[in-house]
A and B are shown apart, each in its own frame.
Chain A
Amino acid sequence: MEAKEYIVSGMLELYASGALDDIGSAEVEQMVKKIPEVAAELKAIQLSLEKYAMLHAVTPPAFVKENLLKVIQPEAKEKVIAITRSNNKFYQYAVAASVVLLMLSSFAAFYFAGKFNSTKTELASLQNQYDTLKNNMDVVIANQSHLKEAMDMINGMNTLKVKLSGTEKHPGMQVLVYYDMDNKHIMLDPGNLPQLPDSLQYQLWALKGTNVLDAGAFSPIAGILNLKAAPEAELFAITVEKYGGSPTPHVDQMVAMGKISI
């Protein structure tokens, strides 16, 4: 019971994303040690954050690796081989021969170890490229099915196409809203809306009489966006709001609007 309560508390998520102070972190670490279920949950959380982080991959500039290899280069250690003098010629030759052999075989060992490691690295990097390609392919397939869904909706018998035009402050903006009168779904083509800073998003509003309905916040990404359904609408308007949207529109931040004409 204690385990379950702790798991749903949200402490593990905050711990995994580094938002806890030392006291909170120590508490979580205690619980993880004590209860295996808690440890397993934390592991799952960390794994999903890892995957999320992996999705952000951007190849870093090459000079970083070059700098790093210089920094970590181990200082060459000098190996001293003491050769004791012996009057016996045979031993002198034997020592000389074994030193040569030793040098040759160490050289070969280094050479092949290096080859082996670079092959391993190449293989891993190919594997990574393959994973990225496969991942991208999956997304392309998903995109295609989204596009088909959008096409079906746009071409639906009872789908209205509403043109939204820029307000006085934002002339030239053109946005298209598709409103399915059957199931009240809304799709939107962001047209030429400019990008916003990360902290802001556009928000679509469906208006009827004095009723203002939130139809969802969005960032202008090329393609057709799925927004929230609105049970009724006469007019659509777009405002700029904080990221995630606002409960009511900031009318002074209106960018575009358009009326439904049947």
Chain B
Amino acid sequence: MNKKISEEELLELLRTGEQSSFTYLYDNYSAAIYGVVLRMIEDEEAAADVLQETFIKIWKNFSMYDSSKGRLFTWMINIARNMAIDKMRSKYFKQDSKNLDIEDSVSVVDRHVQTAFKPEHIGLKQIVQKMNPEFSAILELVYFKGFTQAETAEELDIPLGTVKTRMRNAIIELRELIK
């Protein structure tokens, strides 16, 4: 994304607590954040909730953002992902079709699964299609389902060390595909 205001300028505006800077922040980043959250929890209502809570948290905790630790968008998307993970793991949030075993799949084959997530960039599908399935599977678990290293190892039935190397290779491929 090309920003007409540089990140430094935006940070300065945000530090003053100027309301227009918040509007700018929302207009520029809400779609990306909402898209990722929607992809994670696949429920439009819950995703809108998470988006709202995320921006309130960003606004209130802005003073805690440390630019030496990473870029602003990285910080924001991580807040959103953590909130989405909390939501997914909360007992009130039911997950129905997610944990299907292969054994149950016969009936599923004929069922058209509609997910709420419909990206506006048509480039995403292309990248996912080109990606090694092993890599997209590990990205899915870690980045979108919030699995820890140990949980990922258990889910994929691979050693802890392999999680590290596979994740590295997955992101190397991702860098290659979206550069």
Contacts and interface: CB of A to CB of B under 8 A. Distances in A.
Contacts of A125: 27
Given A10-B164, A55-B119, A58-B120, 13 more contacts: A9-B164, A10-B163, A11-B164, A18-B78, A18-B81, A50-B71, A52-B127, A55-B127, A65-B30, A72-B22, A114-B20, A169-B106, A240-B105
User: A interface, how many residues as a size bin?
Assistant: 35 or more
A241 B102 contact: yes
A248 B77 CA distance: 38
Interface string B109-134: 11111010111111111110100011
B158 interface: no
B178 A55 contact: yes
Contacts, number: 248
Interface stretch (A79-87, A96-104, A150-158, A190-198): A190-198
B174 interface: yes
Interface string A57-86: 111110111011101111000000000000
Interface stretch (A129-137, A175-183, A229-237): A129-137
A124 B28 CA distance: 8
B164 A57 contact: no
13 contacts: A13-B171, A17-B139, A17-B142, A19-B142, A19-B167, A50-B73, A54-B1, A56-B121, A69-B19, A72-B19, A72-B22, A200-B105, A242-B102
Interface string B133-147: 110110110110011
A117 B20 contact: yes
B109 A170 contact: yes
A240 B143 contact: no
A13 B170 contact: yes
